[in-house]
Amino acid sequence: MKRHAARVLAVAVLLTGCGGGDRHPDPAADSAAITAALQRFPNDFNARDYPALCGLFAEDVVLNYPGLTAERGRDAFCARMRKTLSDPDRRFSYAEPEIREVLVDGGLATVALT
C-alpha cells in the first residue's frame, strides 16, 4: 500500500444500502452508489480517516486480494487500517481505483477493481 495502490482482484461487498428491506431493488442505482463510495476511498485513505474507510464495508464483508493468505473480514481490515494509519512517521498515497466491474444482486455486490 505504501506509495501505490494494492492490486485488488475481487472484493465481495455486502453493503447496507444494497437491496434488502421492502424497497424495490435498483441494481443500477446500487452499482452507482458502490462506485461513488469506492471513488471516495482514496480521499479517506489519504486523509487517514479509518472510520470512513471502515464505514464503506458491511460487518459481514469478505475481502480477498493478492498476497493475502486468507480472506479478511471487516474487523480485521479496520484493525489493520487503524494500526497502519495511526503511525505518523509513515507516508501513504492511494490512487483512485480502476473499477472494472460492479455486479449487484439484491444485497450482494461483487466488485472487480485494481
Of 32, 31, 39, which Cα lies nearest the Cα of 95?
39
CATH code where residue 91 lies: 3.10.450
State the DSSP code for 72.
Answer: B
Q: What pLDDT band is residue 5 in, cutting at 50, 70 and 90? A: very low
Residue 96 lies in a domain: yes
Place of cell 493468505: 69
Please report whether residue 1 resides in a domain: no
pLDDT digits (tens, 9 = 90+) for 15-37: 444 444 545 679 999 999 999 99
The answer to the question of residue 109 being in a domain is yes
Asked if residue 2 belongs to a domain, the reply is no
Q: Is residue 94 part of a domain?
A: yes
* Domain span holding position 22: 10-113
More reliable by pLDDT, 71 or 73: 73
The C-alpha cell at 17 is: 444500502
Rounded Cα distance, 42 and 69, in Å: 24
Per-residue pLDDT of 100-109, as tens digits, reads 999 999 888 8
Q: Tell whether 16 is covered by a domain.
A: yes
Q: Which range, 12-26, 66-80, 91-105, has the best average confidence (pLDDT)?
A: 91-105
In Å, how far from its chain's centre is CA 6? 12
Indicate if the pLDDT at residue 86 is higher than 50: yes
CA angle 110, 51, 93 (to 5 degrees): 75
* C-alpha to C-alpha distance for 101 and 7, rounded to whole angstroms: 14
Give the pLDDT of residue 28: 93
Contact indicator for 27, 105 with CB cutoff of 8 Å: yes
> pLDDT at position 29, please?
94
Mean pLDDT of 72-97: 89
Q: What was the pLDDT predicted at 2?
A: 41
Is 17 within the bounds of a domain? Answer: yes
Number of domains within the chain: 1
Q: Give domain status of residue 5, yes or no.
A: no
